[in-house]
Amino acid sequence: MKEITMEAVVANIEKMTAFVDEVLEEAGCPLKKQLQIDVAVDEIFSNISKYAYPEGTGTATLQVEITEDPRTAEVTFIDSGIPFDPMKEMEPDVTLSAEERKIGGLGIYLVKKTMDGMSYEYVDGKNILRICKNIDE
**CATH (domain of 23):** 3.30.565.10
pLDDT above 90 for 33: yes
Q: What is the pLDDT of residue 89?
A: 64
With both helix axes pointing from N to C terminus, report the angle between 31-47 and 106-114 in degrees, rounded to the nearest 10. Answer: 150
Average pLDDT over residues 80-101: 68
| Exposed / middle / buried, residue 29 (Cβ in 10 Å: 0-12, 13-18, 19+) | buried
One-letter amino acid of 30: P
pLDDT above 60 for 103: no
Determine which of 15-19, 20-24, 103-107 has the lowest per-residue pLDDT on average: 103-107
Q: What is the pLDDT of residue 57?
A: 87
Segments forming the whole domain that contains residue 116? 2-134
Q: What is the pLDDT of residue 110?
A: 85
Using pLDDT thresholds of 50, 70 and 90, give the confidence band for residue 101.
very low
Using pLDDT thresholds of 50, 70 and 90, give the confidence band for residue 86.
confident
32 CB neighbour count, 10 Å cutoff: 9
Higher pLDDT, 105 or 72: 72
16 CB neighbour count, 10 Å cutoff: 24
One-letter amino acid of 43: E
Task: Specify whether the CB–CB gap between 37 and 20 falls below 8 A.
Answer: yes
The answer to whether the Cα torsion of 51, 129, 121, 125 is positive or negative is: negative
Number of domains in the chain: 1
User: By C-alpha distance, which of 61, 102, 111, 58 is closest to 82?
Assistant: 58
48 CB neighbour count, 10 Å cutoff: 26
Higher pLDDT, 112 or 32: 32
Task: Specify whether the CB–CB gap between 133 and 36 falls below 8 A.
Answer: yes
One-letter amino acid of 48: I
Using pLDDT thresholds of 50, 70 and 90, give the confidence band for residue 99.
low
